Structure 1
Amino acid sequence: MNRLHQSLTTIPNRFAFIDSIEKEAKKQPYLSLMLIDVVRFSDVTTSFGMAIGDQFLLEIANRVILLFKGRARLGRISGDVFGLVFDGKHSRSFLNQQFERLVEHFKTPMYHESHAFIADFNVGAVSMTHGDFDITRFVARAEAALKQAKENQYENFHVLDMNDKANTGRSLALKADLQRALSNSELALYLQPKVNLRTLEICGAECLLRWHHPIDGVLFPGPLIEAAESYNMINELAYWTLNQAFICMAKLMAEGIDIKLSVNISPTQLYDNKLVPALEQLQKDFGIPLSKFELELTEDMALSNSLMVKKQLAQLHILGVSISVDDFGKGYSNLAYIRDLALQGLKIDKTFVMELEKEPVNKAIIQAAQIIGDAKACEVIAEGVETVQQLHILRDLNITVGQGFLFSPAIPLNDFIGLAREEIMIGGSPLRQVLNN
């Protein structure tokens, strides 16, 4: 029976967990493995930092252990992916029931200060039948099932080799939630500041979506975004976000705050030929130049060879919209294409900043990104800045802009306006003073 854990480090890691599966398979003729991926968990770490993110993951792990009460063994496959092993022969129906139990149980939010997080999951499963057992193939099939679960249009669950999809009504409920949230003004844009690492002044902000749930309070909107993607409503949500960004910018300009706002753009929107006309109309309606905005693309989107993407990016550039590559270095960077792309920003993925004090190779990767940025005359932004030591190192590497929990999580517009007029504080003291001590 799994015991509750006081730290993520005591949960069996990938290697220990897989080793335990292999040993159990020698005793049992049947086993089932479920891989549980926490949907959009990066929203939590972006807003609250890695330490709070780890607290949420630990709570998720312990809640899963209590939920299955010793009938399954838990392991941690990777950062936000857990594994569950069930002894015995299990049907697809049984595994689907466990998925539904998991989802239903986690409708009860987890809290940090005044923010609530409802964990949602993608789950892939595979069952072992009596016969030859290959642990590598067994785990690979479970990972393939998880990949399929992420790609399914209406259902976040998949058992490999079973192509039928069960609709539990959950996705339909999410669609209704999204429609209600849009019509009842339950959604809001929060702003996370970007800070000049030299002057420690706010020089920009990233717009991040939050859901003011009528019962559960402020939620990360991951499940709603998943529903929007499943029901082809992502453009509706994306254009609502752009409109809200213009409303935020109008208020900031009225308050005399001269910064640029960054908005994340979805792949669906980048392929939509209505994007450019919509931005031109917003510019006309609000009287705000498009040069006040930056669109953040994921690395794989930016590196697409699609003629449509190239055309859209070229038109956006002509309009004065800045283009930034988000999570740079996280994927497989095509440096030749980065060379030819008209970019105004490269955002270094937070995984390279997280352990900057411990991993010399992270420092080298950030230096390489800065060299590329200098050559292209584009800004390099470090995501996930959480400690004063990281800030010191980034300054030494000539990184000029940072974003992260050290400065502030994403906050409502009015709070952001107040923050932009004050010195950034840490532990009750001005950050500038802390750095000079």
Structure 2
Amino acid sequence: MRARAGVAPWWRFAVGGSAVASHALLPVGPARDVLYVAIGVLAVAAAVVGIRRHGPPHRAPWAILTCGLAVWVAGDTVWILRERLGADPFPSVADAVSLLGYVLLAVGIVRLARVRNPASDSIAVLDAVLVGTVVLAVLWISAVGPAFEAPGPHGLAAVVAAAYTVGDVVLLTLLAYLAGGSSFRSRCLWLLWAGLAATLAADVLFEASTTLTWVGPYGVRIEWLWLAGYALLGLAVADCSIVAASERQPPPSERVGLSRLAWLWVVLLALPGAAVVQWLAGEDPDSVELAVAGCVVVGLVITRMLLMARRMVAQADRLAALADADALTGLANVRAFSIEVARRLEDGGRPVPVLLVVLDRFTEITETLGHRVGDELLRAAADRMRDAVGPSGYVARISGERFGVLVDTGPQGALDRAGDLLLELAAPFTLSDVSVSVDALVGVAVGPDDGTDAEDLLQRADVALSAARTRPERVARYTGRMSAGGALTPHLMTELAAALENGEIVVHYQPQITVRTGRVHGVEALVRWQHPVHGLLPPASFIPAAERTGLIRPLTLYVLDRALAQAAQWRREERNLAVSVNLSVRDLLDPAFVHDVRRALDRYGVGTASLELEITETMAMVDPNRSLEVLEALAGLGVLLSVDDYGTGYSSLAYLQRLPVQRLKIDRSFVMGLVGDGPSAAIVRSTIELARNLGMTVVAEGVEDDATLLTLQEMSCDAAQGFGIGHPVPADEIPDLVAAIEERIPHVLRQGVPVGQRPL
């Protein structure tokens, strides 16, 4: 039976249509009047039976709608009786009864809207009022106004006739709000819409009967329209879809679809369209009515724009709050921690100790007792550390079981506070089901001596952690003699300049795909050092030092040269792949860099559309004025500018809107947690929607699996890259990698389910 619940009862439509047609064919007389009333009564009875049979979760709106329909039928019955008794049926008490029906129908629609969407959508309300205003203005110009101006007596009859038209427009406006505020796919709602539209058509023709003589006395030739309205309203309430239509709907999307925008444009053009029609018909346009309606429409549009702007600001604020907080512990996250470290370093004059605290054996605890206990432990540890450092300290969750702590002391005081933290964490944790004890380690780095930004200080503190594992006090401060876990020693850094000349610096390429199609559209150029002794070194091993020593400028130009040379080679092989190259802050502060880019493009004959230059959020904020000049000059060349690692810096989309960038690359820290982490998903979704509203495209970095890619597809993300799509590889391996990606990824996107993944 459930499978048949959505099948339309076509026999009801056939019966209702046959009855309406039969009435239209009967001659004017008692039989025709009896059939008219019978059809109305049957429509009310069908609605009552439908409510009792289907039992919607909220019956009140449908019951009120049925009462409104019944009052309409009662009003028409009084009309017919007065006509048969020789009294003038219009205007009369029958009209008072019928107009009461409009009130009940309006209340029913409003109640239904509140059931489906309890949180009223102000923009949907404005859209509905906008539609209603324009429709009423057009009807007034085309039908109501001429009826008042026609020769003959007016007064109460004209006012009552106009009240019917206004009532119809109000009801349709309320239905438009219902459509704009939530999903409008239920069959019963479309039937309501059709029934009210038929009634509006009948009332407008009745209003114009003074000039349209074919309508007949009292609209006798258009009675079938009123009957069709009765039948459709009765069938709407009797339909089984009232159950689904009574349920609470998902919150309306804040994105404005093309169909909604197109509809609003049609509505806005209706008023000038009415004036043009009048002019073409040889009539003087109703300037007063058009002016009044135009002023109302302009006011509504301005109000709508202000509400949309306020909504975007609120959404950006929510995004910023999510971006700075750890959802599990309520602490600041690594982004907020980096900002706080930068602020304290900028104050100057005092050391900035950074403590990196790790809960040892945390993985064993989660594997033994479960992730729920692990989450409780992280929350409890966060509370203890927050209490231990007091109001002058700062605690953030960096990742997993790692916490960053800032204390307002000197280097020795930082070591003392580290010992206090270990004592606090040494006491057993009483969780919901078990008592747990953990060991902690603390690595200490002090800025600016050990590093000039949060990334450097956390890296040095991490190095100190390795030493802390071997010490009984479980605390260590970073010293230059400690192994940097892969970072190059100073004597190796002296080899970097020679490596550039000897061809040891190589470029690998990581594919980027268009999420909609799964096809590879470009690659990101990623630098590597093929060291003769230490092997292939990642950029994190030498890029920070290259930036400090000034080698970053020739290094960037080298990568740019190699990437464009390779793009030209691919183009000769009929492989149309764009290349993206990462810039440094020194590039943005050097106006000559624009000339370097232009010369490199000309050297290899590569079009500007094939080159993308990536900056980070913080790079453009070092010297905003000089950076903006260079960026605008690069944009003038026609190259694509993008913001890399979005979400890890200090800027906002509002600030980035001032820059001539066309693309955002969401940082992998948000994308990698997209499937299992609600806040990360909210950040990614909001960033995609806000970026699109600002005219930017979005690339998601760090796509590690098919589930993440499918989630990005559902969010309408533009492009993606990551190990789950393809690893960075040398240029000669790109053709095979692209072929493998375009064989597998489109299938994943079409099927909508992850498939067996293999390393690419």
TM-score range, shorter chain: 0.5 to 0.7
Pairing partner for 1:102 from 470, 473, 483: 483
The structure with the larger Rg is 2
Show the counterpart of 2:638: 320
| Compared CA separation, residues 9 and 216, structure 1 to 2 (3 A) | farther
Q: Displacement, 1:279?
A: 1.1
Show the counterpart of 1:299: 617
Give yes or no for the alignment of 1:22 onto 2:432.
no
Show the counterpart of 2:251: none
Write the deviation string for residues 304-357 of structure 1: whole angstroms up to 9, x where unpaired: 662211111111111001110111122233333222322220111111111112
| Matches for 1:2-401 after TM superposition, within 5 Å | 7=363, 13-14=402-403, 21-22=419-420, 34-35=444-445, 65=466, 70-71=470-471, 84-85=475-476, 96=479, 99-103=480-484, 106=485, 119-120=486-487, 170-171=489-490, 173-303=491-621, 306-401=624-719
Cα pair 2:505 2:530 within 8 Å, conserved = yes
Query: Aligned partners of 1:23, 1:363: CA distance in 2, in Å?
Result: 33
The higher-RCO structure (CA 8 Å, 6+ apart) is 1
Q: Displacement, 1:15?
A: 8.3
- When normalised by structure 1's length, the TM-score is 0.66
Write the deviation string for residues 178-210 of structure 1: whole angstroms up to 9, x where unpaired: 022112101111111111122211111111001
Q: Displacement, 1:71?
A: 2.0
| Compared CA separation, residues 20 and 338, structure 1 to 2 (3 A) | closer
SS of the counterpart of 2:550? coil
Cα pair 1:175 1:227 within 8 Å, conserved = yes
**One-letter identity of the residue aligned with 1:14:** F
Unmatched 5+ residue regions in structure 2? Answer: 1-357, 367-399, 406-414, 425-441, 756-760
Q: Displacement, 1:175?
A: 3.4
Query: Aligned partners of 2:671, 2:525: CA distance in 1, in Å?
Result: 21
**Identity across matched positions, percent:** 27
| Compared CA separation, residues 308 and 70, structure 1 to 2 (3 A) | closer
Q: Displacement, 1:392?
A: 1.5
| Compared CA separation, residues 287 and 185, structure 1 to 2 (3 A) | same
Unmatched 5+ residue regions in structure 1? Answer: 27-31, 43-56, 75-83, 87-94, 107-118, 122-169
Cα pair 1:423 1:431 within 8 Å, conserved = no
Query: Aligned partners of 1:349, 1:3: CA distance in 2, in Å?
Result: 26
Q: Displacement, 1:72?
A: 5.2
**One-letter identity of the residue aligned with 2:403:** R
Query: Aligned partners of 1:15, 1:374: CA distance in 2, in Å?
Result: 34
**One-letter identity of the residue aligned with 1:71:** R
Q: Displacement, 1:300?
A: 1.7
**One-letter identity of the residue aligned with 2:657:** R
Q: Displacement, 1:264?
A: 0.5
Query: Aligned partners of 1:73, 1:244: CA distance in 2, in Å?
Result: 50
Query: Aligned partners of 1:14, 1:4: CA distance in 2, in Å?
Result: 12
Superposed CA RMSD in Å reads 3.8
Specify which structure has the higher proportion of helix.
Answer: 2
Query: Aligned partners of 2:531, 2:361: CA distance in 1, in Å?
Result: 30
| Compared CA separation, residues 434 and 215, structure 1 to 2 (3 A) | farther
Q: Displacement, 1:379?
A: 1.4
Query: Aligned partners of 2:364, 2:727: CA distance in 1, in Å?
Result: 23
SS of the counterpart of 2:600? helix
Query: Aligned partners of 1:3, 1:380: CA distance in 2, in Å?
Result: 36
Q: Displacement, 1:382?
A: 0.8
Q: Displacement, 1:363?
A: 2.0
Show the counterpart of 2:339: none
Cα pair 2:514 2:720 within 8 Å, conserved = yes
Cα pair 1:235 1:269 within 8 Å, conserved = yes
**One-letter identity of the residue aligned with 2:707:** Q
Specify which structure has the higher proportion of strand.
Answer: 1
Q: Displacement, 1:433?
A: 7.8
Q: Which moved more, 1:187-196 or 1:375-384?
A: 375-384
Write the deviation string for residues 57-111 of structure 1: whole angstroms up to 9, x where unpaired: 9xx98x975x67732555xxxxxxxxx437xxxxxxxx64xx41424xx5xxxxx
SS of the counterpart of 2:553? helix
Show the counterpart of 2:71: none
Cα pair 2:487 2:542 within 8 Å, conserved = no
SS of the counterpart of 2:644? strand
- When normalised by structure 2's length, the TM-score is 0.39
SS of the counterpart of 2:609? helix
